[in-house]
Amino acid sequence: MEDLAIRSEELYQLYEGVAGTLDLGEERAAESKVGKSLETIYGASQWRLMWRKFVRNRVAVAGGAVILLFYLVAIFAGFFAPYGETTRFTKNIYMPPQVIHLLNEGRLQPYVYAYEAAFDENLRKTYTATGEKTLLRFFAHGEPYKILGLISIDVHLFAGQDGMPVSLLGTDRQGRDMFSRILYGSRISLSIGLVGVVLSLILGTVLGVVSGYYGGWVDEMIQRLIELIRAFPNIPMWMALSAAIPLTWSITQTYFAISIILSLFQWTWLARQLRGQVLALRGQDYVLASKLAGASDRWIVFKHLVPATMGQIIVVSTLAMPSMILAETALSYLGLGLRPPATSWGILIQESQNYQSLALYPWVFTPAIAVAIAILAFSYLGDGLRDAVDPYTV
């Protein structure tokens, strides 16, 4: 409430400063304007106050914008990626990244320089830039793909002229474009975290609210279950359960199995948070009024208590996303998660774990940069939402 009091005091000081220079009509108009401003501040809803405080946090807003960009690119990965995730350029294995030049002879015409391959005295493949220019074609037709698995289309944002390879982040040991594979890998890495968080939200919300609302033996049983689950270290349990997934399962079956495994150990934190809030809310007047009016427990839980804790649910889910993404990346890196031909950030990092190749061709480790950016964006967004949930504090 302190920031609102400061805001109202500033409005009154502004009004008192100009009131002496105005006539009676102008003074009344200024007083009415100040009154409307104060009414807007104090009459704002909880969600509006949260939004006002959130947008003032530029770092959190930037994190949210980066996350939206990541998910937009993941949904339309086939459009933004110039090539398919399995397209190979066998003559361009371990090709270094190409830099885009915007101006061509004074005209805005993006291009990249072509590379010429050769072998040094150690039979290591090296590339040198030639003077030959490869122009970029935008909205070019190329390999067909499906948007959301439904609409088939072959238009890509850009591609090289005359079928020449253009690799902004270089190629890997099989000549596959790293930029395209990172975009395709974001679909699994970002969605598996989202699915895992949704499943853990359902478990954590229901069990946490029920535990705090009923209390007694129900609360004791749920809390002992939470303590039992939290007693096991997450990474070893994830590894043990992931290793039990049959190798004959399809990519879709493995995907949902990994999502369920990750969600089984992430709901306990949310349940503990909501239990504490519900313990304080169940004695509020509106909850007691609903009981006296004959409302059922299900009505009170889902119509009053869950909406009242929605801010905390959003914050916890946002902060849980980085751990989900890191867990999938770690399992895939260890060979216990998704496996090729699936493409995820963890699989891309696992394929670049050869230290000799990493030292000679460092661009194959660029998927780790995408993981780091996503983790930081989710962390900044979660911190901003956590501050905005309590808009009455400075």
pLDDT at 66: 94
State the greatest distance between any 2 C-alpha atoms of the chain, in Å, as a whole number. Answer: 92
**Three-state secondary structure call for residue 391:** coil
Q: Which residue has the tokens 């890191």?
A: 326
Mean pLDDT of 74-101: 88
The reported pTM is 0.80
**Nearest Cα to Cα of residue 364 among 229, 183, 173:** 173
The residues of the chain that CATH labels 1.10.3720.10 are 182-388
Q: Which residue has the tokens 């002496």?
A: 20
Residue 148 scores a pLDDT above 80: no
Residue 360 scores a pLDDT above 60: yes
266-270, 298-302, 309-313, 377-381: least confident range = 309-313
Cα R_g (the chain), whole angstroms? 28
pLDDT band at 41 (very low <50, low <70, confident <90, very high): low
Q: What is the rounded distance in angstroms from the CA atom of residue 74 to the CA atom of residue 59?
A: 23
pLDDT at 36: 52
Average pLDDT, the chain: 80
Superfamily of domain 182-388, CATH level 4: MetI-like (1.10.3720.10)
Residue 17 scores a pLDDT above 70: no
DSSP letter, residue 224? H
Residue 24 scores a pLDDT above 70: no
Higher pLDDT, 97 or 51: 97
Contact 358, 364 (CB under 8 A): yes
Q: What percent of the chain has pLDDT over 90?
A: 9
DSSP letter, residue 95? P
Q: How many residues does the chain have?
A: 394
Residue 293 scores a pLDDT above 50: yes
Residue 62 scores a pLDDT above 90: yes
Higher pLDDT, 110 or 26: 110
Q: What is the rounded distance in angstroms from the CA atom of residue 370 to the CA atom of residue 348?
A: 11
Read off the pLDDT of residues 194-226 as tens digits, 9 standing for 90 and up. Answer: 888 888 888 888 888 888 888 888 889 999 998
pLDDT at 73: 92
pLDDT band at 379 (very low <50, low <70, confident <90, very high): confident
pLDDT at 391: 52
Residue 230 scores a pLDDT above 80: yes
Read off the pLDDT of residues 179-192 as tens digits, 9 standing for 90 and up. Answer: 999 999 998 888 88
**Three-state secondary structure call for residue 160:** strand
pLDDT band at 9 (very low <50, low <70, confident <90, very high): low
Q: What percent of the chain has pLDDT over 70?
A: 86
pLDDT at 61: 92
Mean pLDDT of 248-270: 81
